[in-house]
Amino acid sequence: MSGKLRLAEGEAARTACARALLRTGVDEETGEVLSRAVLAQRVGWCAGLVAGMVAALIGAHWNRVDVEVLAAGVDAGGRRLPSNAWMALRRLGWAVTAPGGVRVNDRVVRMAQEQAGRALRSAAWRAEVTAGVLAAWPADPRQRTPTEWDQVRASIPGGQHLPSNVIKGRTRQVVTFAKANGRLPVDVFELEGVPRIPRMLLLAACDRQQAIIERSDTDPTRALLRLQLPTRPDPRTYRDWTWVACPIRLPSTVPASAVLHLPTLRVTDGKVRADMAYTHAVPKSRATGHSVAVGVDWGLNTLLSAGALRLHASGRITALGAGGQFRAAGVLAKQHRLRRLSERLHAKADHYARLLGGRPDEQLRAKHEVLAGEIRHVSTRRANLNDALAWAAARWTVDQAIAARATVIYLEDLRSMEARGMGHSLNTRLSQQVRGKITDRMRHLAAETGIAVVTVPARNTSKHCPQCLTPLQHRKAPDRPTTPGWKWAICPNTGSCGWQGDRDHGAWRRIAARGLTHQGKAVIDKTSGQMVIRSVVDTLEAAAVVTPSTSKTSRRDRSKTGPTRHKPPRPAPRRRRAPSPTRPHGQAGKRPEGHAPTDRKLPRAAHRHQDVNTISTPTTTGHRPRGAALGAGFHLHVHASPPRWETIPETPSGLGSLS
């Protein structure tokens, strides 16, 4: 650590991570300045030594008995195991040694034991889920009956609240193993095999004898990392290890008052990347006592719909504004095209692998390697696009909460959602949305301002009216009230309610109202540490209604009663009363007389309005990424509502309004 964090009243410590890059280093023994390539080489040597020891340690204890002993949390004498993985392994006597002839200090062994201990501890949960699935194996793995679902959840510890897609994913994995081997696996260790060991240095397991990080006193954006690195791939003595000082430029997201921790180093594409962990003070978030909340509903093309509600002291719930939307149809369409391209490349690569069949065909092998590189390139593009979309959507949602001065964000829990009955292509697009990433980024950004993020059950949030809880009638569009569809919702209770609006806007009202009335039922999940509302109480749900605004739209009759008043035509613009001067021979001078068209055309992205409302909704079918080709990039395909929360009166349905 670098310093000590001091907390004031109403603050909590929050640990986050930011990425940095080690560009150079200085060998303190020789004074030599290490280039980026040399530094990556020396870090890679150390990471290779650690990865070898981790592989040996995991391979020796990759079995059910040892993992259960580690997961039990007590040693042979009944004492509680330490939370640090390397200390727990040493308490159990699980030692590891360096390869023959290689000399490493005890801190390098600690890094190997820490990485191996984390991997073995993470396997305990997968082992419990797999054992429960195998113990309650269904007659038809493709479709479980309700009784079989109850049996498999009862056989898994904590299976009552486990998402069904986790159980289905593990079932598909077992089915694949059974097809290849003709039998069911014994446990997860036979099903998965020894995991792949990443090459990295967990410096957090070390002390000052191996690595030190200090923040600059004059420039808070700079830090200095000092660590011992080998001077050769197989260090024979301790003299082959020298101290290297690496200056680090901290990202702007790291506060100046944050406490720095030792990072994790990885070598990627010849560069040393550091995962900088830091702890800083943030306002405390609470599970109860909320009066203003933001509800968020998921969609397909309209990725997010959100709005704010206020809970009054009398128990009445009112809406603050009309809500907003975060639409990402273009980004999701691009992601869908990249997915199909990846599937075609994988199919072609598998075909080449079958043709090779171990034969020495250099030409075909070269084509297979080119395809493998293209697959990695497409996968990187998909990952980057998902990350950009997740950060943009999360930032927009948190900004909505900040603008509304809300203290909580309520999300519908869609972990168990399955896309069915909407066609093969649409089902795939629904299943591959980045909801999990958006939720994680949302919690990360909301914690900085003390805003709680709570998941609520999603049942009937789009089915019932937000003002009277009557089942809604869904239509294709507001101007087609008799055509069945799903986008526009109309309340059939025209006598006392008569609400109508976008289906997603009604859903976020229901989500926020349900969260406000059930906030006393919010609990913290023990496995994830996240706030959740697990079930809906009927008495509380009956109070989760949104009271319509008392202000009404003017009903003055605006029908035409007479002839339209004559308006004079627009006067002609002023013309030059004297000819322009003759054009000089040089570049300088006034505009020549007459029209002077220029040959230089600015791209559309150069003069396009770049506010939160980036583009209008396309009126033609098909996807035309013109702006992306001209340099507009990601934001051409995303348009969001601005974070404004004036109280906008709702229009009664009897007026025939389309808004």
- 410-429: per-residue pLDDT in tens? 998 876 555 444 444 544 54
CB 83 within 8 A of CB 33: no
How many Å apart are CA 498 and CA 513, to the nearest integer? 19
What is the set of domains in the chain, with CATH numbers?
292-329+387-550+648-655 (3.30.420)
Under 8 Å between Cβ of 328 and 634: no
- Give the pTM: 0.76
DSSP per-residue letters across 129-197 = HHHHHHHT--SSTTS--HHHHHHHHHHSTTGGG--HHHHHHHHHHHHHHHHHHSS--SSHHHHH-SPP-
Burial of 242 by CB count in 10 Å (0-12 exposed, 13-18 middle, 19+ buried)?
middle
Q: At what angle do helices 164-181 and 106-135 cross, to 10 degrees?
A: 90
To which H or E segment does residue 282 belong? strand 271-283
Q: How far apart, in Å, are the Cα atoms of 236 and each of 53, 55, 103, 232, 372?
A: 16, 21, 5, 9, 38
264 phi and psi, to 5 degrees? -105, 125
579 residue type, one letter: P
Q: Is 96 exposed, middle or buried (0-12, 13-18, 19+ CB in 10 A)?
A: middle
Distance CA 3, CA 260 (A): 8
Q: Check: CB of residue 505 under 8 Å from CB of residue 302.
A: no
- Name residue 216's amino acid: S
Q: Strand 25-27 vs strand 241-249: parallel, antiparallel, or unpaired? A: antiparallel
- Give strand pairing partners of 489: 474, 501
Which tokens is 358 given? 């171990």
d(CA 611, CA 494): 39
455, 458, 443, 456: which is closest to 401 by C-alpha? 443
For 163, phi and psi rounded to 5 degrees?
A: -60, 140
Q: Which residues of the chain have pLDDT under 50?
A: 1, 419-424, 426-427, 429-430, 592-594, 596-597, 602-618, 627-631, 647-659
d(CA 272, CA 43): 8
Please count the other Cβ atoms lying within 10 Å of the Cβ belonging to residue 248: 21
Say if residues 340 and 424 touch (Cβ distance below 8 Å).
no
Burial 4-16 (b: 16+ CB within 10 A, else e): ebeeeeeeeebeb
Average pLDDT in the chain: 83
Which residues make Cβ contacts (< 8 Å) with residue 242, sequence separation at least 6? 27, 28, 29, 30, 228, 229, 231
Confidence at residue 427, expressed as pLDDT on a 0 to 100 scale? 46
Amino acid identity of residue 458, one-letter, is: A
Of the candidates 299, 407, 319, 327, the one whose C-alpha atom is nearest the C-alpha of residue 641 is 327
**295, containing H or E segment:** strand 292-298
DSSP run (H or E) holding 515: helix 503-517
Residue 566 dihedral angles phi and psi, to the nearest 5°: -75, 130
DSSP H/E element including 224: strand 222-230
Q: How far apart are CA 412 and CA 462, in angstroms?
A: 11
Report the distance separating Cα 622 and Cα 631, nearest Å. 20
Residues facing 230 on adjacent strands: 241
How many other C-beta atoms are found inside a 10 Å radius of the C-beta of residue 179? Answer: 8
Two tokens, residue 534? 């697990």
| Nearest to 260, CA basis, from 318, 203, 341 | 203
